[in-house]
């Protein structure tokens, strides 16, 4: 029997500015099973990062979670106070942020920062924390970890800093790892190394993972199930195989058509017309209709619901709900 580790239910996160209320995440619902890797994909501005930050109550003012539940092993994280959520952050749920240089403290050595997290959550002494930190640096493939323990972040390359972030995130054996664009700032060869490293460590530690990315190559390589977001909403959910084999939503189809295919040398890339709408100026009806080649009058007036279509798949599109077939 599949056991759910995380359930996000009807999550709404808004930003309360002087210009008014800006909705960033609108009614997002998805789950992560134990031992599963889930990818959240979409262009910049679709609400992926805000969704992930909401899970751990890391939304800064003027942002606020206004509705929904985030159930972690059945416990609603949104209802926890700051002291209670701190016991979970970095311990049972860890997060890797987009840019490691801005996430690491420049005035402390990388070893000191990993050790601090271990001491806080694992209740061990300084020497035990240091030994565990060096062990984690070795596990993530950093050469001469005893020496690099004393290095400052700016002395390391981008790939090495990302390895440090992974070591820190996994140092307390979390049940869930959230990785927000973990390879965006890295060279292609380093990206492959980091993805392989994460996959091996996750299998070894039996950690579930949420990967937030706009790179469908990362999705194909890493994940079991995919959540596609647009305009702060989920527009499609499917297993990674179903999504690449039979993408239903026009937005998903557009993303796939804009991705290079190595085995098709004559393949012509296509872009999606227009831009992601600003959260403070969303179109009426379906959020994607101004960019959709299949848009109907109904799409402009009414917002479709997310319809379950079996096998853990769901689609938010009038074309499918009206039983019309959209071919890629």
pLDDT at 247: 93
């194909």: which residue's tokens?
220
Question: What is the token pair recorded at 64?
Answer: 């606020």
Mean residue pLDDT across the chain = 89
Which residue would you say has higher pLDDT here, 128 or 185? 128
User: What pLDDT, in 10s, does the model give residues 92-149?
Assistant: 999 988 777 778 999 999 999 999 989 988 889 999 999 999 999 998 889 999 999 9
Strand partners, 258: none
Report all structural domains of the chain as residue ranges with CATH numbers, in order of start: 4-92+172-327 (3.40.50.300), 101-171 (no CATH)
SS3 content of the chain, % helix, strand, coil (to 5): 35, 25, 40
Give the contacts of 120 (CB within 8 A, at least 6 positions apart): 90, 91
Strand partners, 89: 93
User: What pLDDT, in 10s, does the model give residues 33-92?
Assistant: 998 999 999 998 899 999 999 999 999 889 999 999 999 999 999 999 999 999 999 899
What is the pLDDT confidence band of residue 326, given thresholds at 50, 70 and 90? very low
The answer to which of 130-139, 196-205, 234-243 has the lowest mean pLDDT is 196-205
Strand partners, 210: 38, 178
3-state SS assignment for residue 300: helix
pLDDT at 56: 94
Residue 323 pLDDT greater than 60, yes or no? no
pTM for the predicted model, two decimal places: 0.91
Cβ–Cβ under 8 Å, residues 234 and 28:
yes
């Amino acid at each position: 029997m599949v056991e759910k580790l995380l359930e996000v239910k009807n999550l709404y996160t808004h930003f309360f500015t002087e210009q008014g209320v800006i909705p960033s995440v609108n009614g997002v619902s998805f789950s992560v099973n134990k031992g599963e890797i889930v990818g959240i994909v979409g262009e910049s501005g679709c609400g992926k990062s805000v969704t992930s930050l909401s899970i751990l109550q890391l939304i800064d003012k003027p942002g606020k979670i206004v509705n929904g539940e985030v159930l972690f092993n059945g416990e609603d994280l949104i209802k926890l106070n700051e002291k209670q959520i701190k016991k979970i952050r970095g311990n049972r749920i860890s997060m890797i942020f987009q840019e490691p240089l801005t996430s690491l403290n420049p005035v402390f050595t990388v070893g000191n920062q990993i050790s601090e997290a271990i001491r806080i959550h694992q209740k061990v002494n300084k020497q035990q924390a240091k030994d565990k930190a060096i062990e984690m640096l070795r596990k993530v493939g950093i050469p001469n970890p005893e020496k690099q323990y004393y290095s400052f972040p700016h002395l390391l390359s981008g790939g090495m800093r990302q390895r440090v972030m992974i070591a820190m995130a996994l140092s307390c054996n979390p049940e869930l790892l959230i990785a927000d664009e973990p390879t965006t700032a890295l060279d292609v060869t380093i990206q492959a190394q980091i993805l392989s490293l994460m996959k091996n460590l996750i299998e070894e530690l039996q950690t579930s993972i949420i990967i937030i990315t706009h790179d469908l190559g990362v999705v194909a390589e890493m994940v079991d199930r995919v959540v596609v977001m647009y305009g702060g909403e989920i527009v499609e959910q499917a297993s990674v195989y179903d999504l690449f084999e039979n993408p239903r939503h026009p937005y998903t189809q557009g993303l796939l058509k804009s991705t290079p295919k190595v085995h098709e040398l004559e393949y012509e890339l296509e872009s999606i017309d227009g831009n992601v709408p600003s959260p403070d100026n969303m179109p009426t009806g379906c959020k994607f209709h101004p960019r959709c080649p299949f848009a109907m009058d109904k799409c402009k007036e009414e917002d479709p619901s997310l319809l379950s279509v079996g096998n853990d798949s769901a689609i938010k599109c009038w074309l499918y709900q009206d039983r019309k077939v959209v071919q890629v």
